[in-house]
């Protein structure tokens, strides 16, 4: 083991092995309408060996009814951003750029709608979601090897949500720019760079980025809410399998849960793969999980954002983690470097977030960890949120925070741009946590939102900033 890592010397012998775990996963999949899933844990031993355990449930698609096995591929979604960040940090290790290099120094033709902001965006800001670039632009620029280049070119009309270096606001577009930087400096596509600089040294075989490669593997299909609310089938297979290839660096890596855990092991070993090959310097691996933006003012679950990683406290143990959501597929991925431990859940349904929450909580209990939950202030249930009611929006989503018929508070999201194939969702009950924070929970997921004021403007924050447009 590397210096400074305190390994879990031995996983509980029945963890994900005893029949009760299979029974529980099957039960949760049925409860949350998840057709198929993989759940995995990995623990690193003193001798460099790894104990990887995986259990599976269900089918890849309700249409084909093919069983999910340990080699089935699921979409990692935004967990792909950690892979893109790793590619960037390799370039930092090689001296080809620094975190404070301006994007325009590498991509001279790069521009967004505000020319002055364009000139100020740095590599670090791309990786910490503080570039200000409008985040949820899913333009389809085709499947050619120039798709990322074309996508970045189309950002010429992208607005600035904040000034560069301002408040964090999640930006998929920013990671496409990072992917394009990899392409230019490596003189190959982002996909090829993944293969050469990560998948080969990590020894990975069950992982892809291109839709054309999906038939070569047993591959999961996403499931979205059934528009027919009266049907006993709560979810149906999506009609679009993958997000556009041009946004790939932000979220289209597709692989098995074992491949994801093997990647996590390299990060917990400070850049040293289980194969013995080094994919990152110790300095860069540790820097990726060093706080870059403090989140404690807007979240009681997430403590900070690192480079790519989100940092959370699991009862005194820090998790470097990142989830993902694509078209009907949900992923959760948590690493605990100080323990030499990681866990991941990959699913093919909108209900995957709820399934992951439940199974992660039970795994955490077995490992003496505490899954972070939104925390409330004393007497929070009596807090009046009337002062923050109103309509908030981003380029792609409108959020209405209102009073419900029962006198309580509720939030409802409306898609301004169709992205994930989900039908409109009913209002979600709001649970006040403080005068500026509240939690939301529905049949597919839960989360925490915060109200804040930036330069005199009101916003709701839930990884993204949503600007208030009316009371």
CA 73 distance to own-chain centroid: 17
Sign of CA dihedral 56, 58, 62, 63: positive
Q: In angstroms, what is the C-alpha Rg of the chain?
A: 21
Tell me how many degrees the CA angle 156-324-293 measures, rounded to the nearest 5: 70
DSSP 3-state assignment of 125?
helix
Calpha distance 446→439 (Å, rounded): 7
Options 78, 169, 171, 259, the catalytic residue = 78
Cβ-based neighbours of 428, under 8 Å, separated by 6 or more: 410, 411, 412, 440, 441, 442
Name the residue among 452, 454, 446, 416 with its Cα closest to residue 428: 446
What separation in angstroms does the CA of 159 have from each of 52, 163, 178, 256, 396? 44, 10, 18, 36, 12
Name the residue among 141, 132, 36, 77 with its Cα closest to residue 467: 132
Calpha distance 463→169 (Å, rounded): 6
CA 101 distance to own-chain centroid: 25
Active site residue 78: yes
**Bridge partners of residue 218, in order along the sequence:** none
Longest dimension (CA), the chain: 61
Cβ atoms of residues 250 and 242 within 8 Å: no
3-state secondary structure 157-174: HCCECCCCCCCCCCCHHH
Q: Which residues are catalytic?
A: 78
């Amino acid at each position: 083991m590397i210096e400074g890592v305190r390994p879990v010397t031995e996983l509980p012998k029945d963890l994900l092995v005893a029949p009760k775990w299979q029974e529980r996963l099957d039960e949760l999949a049925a409860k949350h309408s998840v057709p198929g899933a993989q759940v995995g844990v990995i623990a690193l031993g003193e001798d460099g060996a790894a104990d990887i355990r995986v259990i599976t449930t269900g089918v890849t698609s309700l249409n084909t009814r093919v069983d999910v096995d340990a080699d089935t591929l699921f979409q990692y979604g935004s967990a792909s951003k950690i892979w893109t960040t790793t590619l960037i940090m390799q370039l930092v290790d090689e001296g080809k750029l620094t975190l404070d290099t301006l994007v325009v120094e590498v991509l001279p033709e790069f521009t967004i709608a505000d020319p002055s902001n364009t000139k100020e965006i740095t590599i670090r800001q791309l990786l910490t979601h503080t570039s200000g670039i409008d985040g949820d632009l899913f333009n389809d620029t085709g499947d050619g090897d120039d798709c990322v280049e074309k996508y970045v070119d189309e950002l010429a009309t992208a607005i600035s949500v904040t000034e560069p270096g301002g408040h964090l606001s999640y930006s998929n577009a920013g990671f496409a720019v990072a992917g394009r930087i990899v392409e230019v400096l490596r003189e190959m596509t982002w996909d090829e760079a993944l293969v050469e600089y990560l998948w080969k040294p990590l020894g990975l075989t069950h992982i892809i980025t291109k839709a054309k490669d999906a038939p070569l593997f047993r591959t999961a299909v996403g499931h979205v809410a059934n528009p027919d609310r009266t049907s006993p089938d709560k979810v149906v297979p999506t009609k679009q399998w993958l997000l556009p290839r041009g946004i790939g660096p932000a979220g289209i890596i597709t692989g098995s849960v074992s491949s994801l855990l093997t990647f996590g092991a390299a990060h917990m070993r400070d850049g040293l793969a289980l194969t013995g090959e080094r994919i990152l310097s110790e300095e860069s691996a540790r820097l990726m999980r060093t706080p870059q933006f403090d989140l404690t003012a807007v979240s009681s679950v997430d403590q900070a954002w690192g480079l790519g990683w989100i940092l959370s406290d699991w009862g005194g143990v820090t998790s470097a983690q990142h989830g993902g959501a694509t078209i009907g597929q949900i992923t959760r991925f948590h690493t605990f470097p100080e323990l030499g431990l990681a866990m991941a859940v990959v699913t093919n349904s909108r209900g995957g977030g709820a399934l992951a929450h439940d199974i992660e909580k039970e795994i955490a209990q077995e490992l003496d960890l505490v899954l972070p939950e939104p925390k409330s202030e004393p007497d929070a249930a009596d807090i009046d949120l009337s002062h923050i009611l109103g309509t908030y929006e981003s380029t792609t989503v409108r959020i209405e925070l209102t009073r419900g018929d029962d006198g309580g508070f509720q939030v409802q999201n409306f898609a301004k741009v169709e992205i994930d194939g989900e039908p409109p969702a009913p209002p979600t009950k709001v649970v006040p946590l403080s005068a500026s924070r509240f939690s939301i929970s529905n049949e597919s997921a839960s989360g925490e939102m915060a109200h804040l004021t930036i330069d005199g403007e009101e916003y709701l924050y839930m990884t993204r900033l949503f600007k208030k447009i009316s009371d």
